[in-house]
Structure 1
C-alpha cells in the first residue's frame, strides 16, 4: 500500500504499484462521471486504467479468448463475441443499465456479468467492469455519498466469483447476483471497520496537536487519509502553504510520530503515515479481510 500511495505522486514506484494506482484512478474516473453510461464514458474509464500501458485503442477490433494458448482459442475456457458485435452488445447493455424494473443490486450484478461476457477490450476488462460497478451503484442511488471496497468483497473469494461468471455464461444468473449481494455486505463491513480504525488514529493525532487554531497542521490528518504518502510539494499545494512551511510541517509531524521518512535519494524525500498504511495493508490482504470481517 505504501508503494501504491507513492505511485500517486511518482512514476518511480514499482511497476505493480503503478498498475494498482491505475485501478484507483479508473474508479475515481467512474465516480467523477455523471449521467447515463455511454460507450464513450466506458472507454474513458478504460483509458485512465490503461494509461501506463499501450492499450489505448478503445473497444477491441480483434478476437480474444480466455485460457488456452496465445496462438489459438482451441482449449480456451471462454471465447467472447466477435469484435464486430461488441458495439451493439455494449449499447444493448447500456439500455439494460437504465431500466427501473430490476432491483439495483441484481441489475448491477447482471450488468457486470454481461460486461465481462462481452469482454469489450483486449485487456483490463475485469478492472474496468469493477470500476463501473461504483458508477452504476451511484446512478441507482444505492451509494451516493460513499465508496465501498466492492472489489475486496468480490475478490476475497475469487474462485466463487469466477464460478459465478462461468454460470452466467450458460444462462444461470442466481450465482452472480448472490455473489454480488454478499460482496456488497462484506464491503460494508470492511468499510465500516476501516473508517472506525482511521477515526481512532485521527482522534489520537488531534489530541496531540497543540498548535493554534487555524494552523495548517490541523488540515494535515485529513489530507493523509486521502494520500498517506506525501512530499513537501504535495503538502504545499494541497494545503496552500509555501514549500518552506510544508517542510516545517512535515518535520513537526515526524517528531509527533504522524509521519516517517521513506524512500531513497533516487525517489526523493517522501514521508508515510505508518498507522494509516498499516490499516490499509490489513484491508488489502486476503487474510486481513477475513480478520476484519470476523471482528
Structure 2
C-alpha cells in the first residue's frame, strides 16, 4: 500500500473591512468567517513512492514506446515537434476554456492584431519553447521564466511573479470560504517550490511517475495568481526532456488529458488526498493517446509535404523547395518572415509566396496585398484537428 502523505490544512485569518463586507451580497456575507482553511502540501523530496507491479509495467512500456517514437524524429526532413508544440499549447489552453483557431494562433506570433485569445494561446507556445530550451535543474527562477513567457501577450502585471495573496479554486469570488480547494498561504509558496524543485532532481523514481507527481504538486501549490494549469502542464514537457525520456520529440500530452477532463481533475483531487496513482495513470493514458495521435499526424504531414513537392515545378535547388518544411513550423507567414528564415530579400520572398499561391500551397488572408499574411490551409486544417478533442476523435475513430 502506498503511504503517500495527504495535504493537511491550517486555519488562516481572513480580514475584511466593514466597507468591503458591505459590498458583498448579504447571502454570501453570512458565510464569511474570521478564518478559513488553507492547504499545507506535504514535502516531497524524501517521500518513498511504492508502485504496484502493474503500474510499474505500464510505466516501463510507456518509456519504451516514447523512446521508439523519439528516435524516428531524427530521420524526418521537417520539424514535427514544432507542429505538436502548437497542438499541445492549444489543447492545454482548451482545458482552461481558452480557444482559438490554428490560423489565428499562428497569426498571433507575427501580428499584434490577432484576436486576444489567440495571443494568449501563442503565449503558451512561447512558454513551451522556453521550457524545452532550458537545461539543468528546475529552479524557481526557471518556473518564473516559463510563466512570464506564458502571459507575455496577456499584459498581466503578475506575469512571472509568485503570488503574494491567497487564491482559491471554485466557490465564490468574494472569499475562500466554501471553495473547492484552497492552496497554501502565500508565505508558504517559496518553501513549497524549493521542495518541489529538489524532488525533481531525484533519480530513484520512474521519470514519468516523477513528472506526474511534480505536476500534481505544482497544481496543489498554485504559486501564481493565474496560469498555474498551463504552466504545470508545460513543466511535464520540461521534465520528460530533462530526464531524457523525450530528447527530440514533443507530443500533445494535453490532448490526452483533454480526452477526459473530469478524470484528470479527479486525479488531482485524489493526489491531494494521498493517492498519487491516479495522476500517474492519467499521464500514462495521455501518453498512450498522444503517441497514436503523433504517429498518425506524422503520416499525414509527410503525405501533405509530398503533395506539395509534387505540385511544384521548380529546380531542386530553388528556395521555394524549402518552404514546405518552414510551413510545418509556421503555417501563417508574411514576406518578412519568409525573407528572414530563407535568407532572401523581401521582394524575392514575395515572389516565392506568389508562386506558392499558384501551386495551392498558400492562400492570402484577406486581400492579397504586399505585406499581408498568407496561410497554408491544409496544414492549418490538420492543426485544428489535432488540437481539439472532437478532431482527435474523428482522427482516431473514437465513438462519442
* Structure 2 length-normalised TM: 0.72
Give 1:135's aligned residue: 238
1:45 and 1:135 map into 2 onto residues whose CA distance is: 10
Give 1:156's aligned residue: 259
Give 1:8's aligned residue: 109
* RMSD after superposition: 1.5
Structure 1 segments, 4+ long, off by >6 Å, are none
Query: Number of residue pairs matched?
Result: 295
Give 2:162's aligned residue: 59
Is the 8 Å Cα contact of residues 3 and 17 (structure 1) preserved in structure 2? yes
1:182 and 1:147 map into 2 onto residues whose CA distance is: 16
2:141 to 30, 36, 40: 40
2:366 and 2:205 map into 1 onto residues whose CA distance is: 50
- The residue correspondences of 1:1-295 to structure 2 (distance < 5 A) are 1-52=102-153, 53-54=155-156, 55-56=158-159, 58-263=161-366, 269-294=372-397
Q: Give the 3-state SS of the residue equivalent to 1:194 in structure 2.
A: helix
1:163 and 1:109 map into 2 onto residues whose CA distance is: 14
CA offset at residue 195 of structure 1? 1.1
Highest CA radius of gyration, 1 or 2? 2
CA offset at residue 68 of structure 1? 1.1
1:267 and 1:19 map into 2 onto residues whose CA distance is: 27
Is the 8 Å Cα contact of residues 12 and 267 (structure 1) preserved in structure 2? no
RCO greater where, 1 or 2, for CA within 8 Å and sep 6 or more?
2
CA offset at residue 265 of structure 1? 8.9
* Structure 1 length-normalised TM: 0.97
CA offset at residue 268 of structure 1? 5.7
1:267 and 1:7 map into 2 onto residues whose CA distance is: 19
Q: Which sections of structure 1, spanning at least 5 residues, go unmatched?
A: none
CA offset at residue 56 of structure 1? 2.1
Q: Give the 3-state SS of the residue equivalent to 2:364 in structure 1.
A: strand
* Structure showing the higher helix proportion among its residues: 1
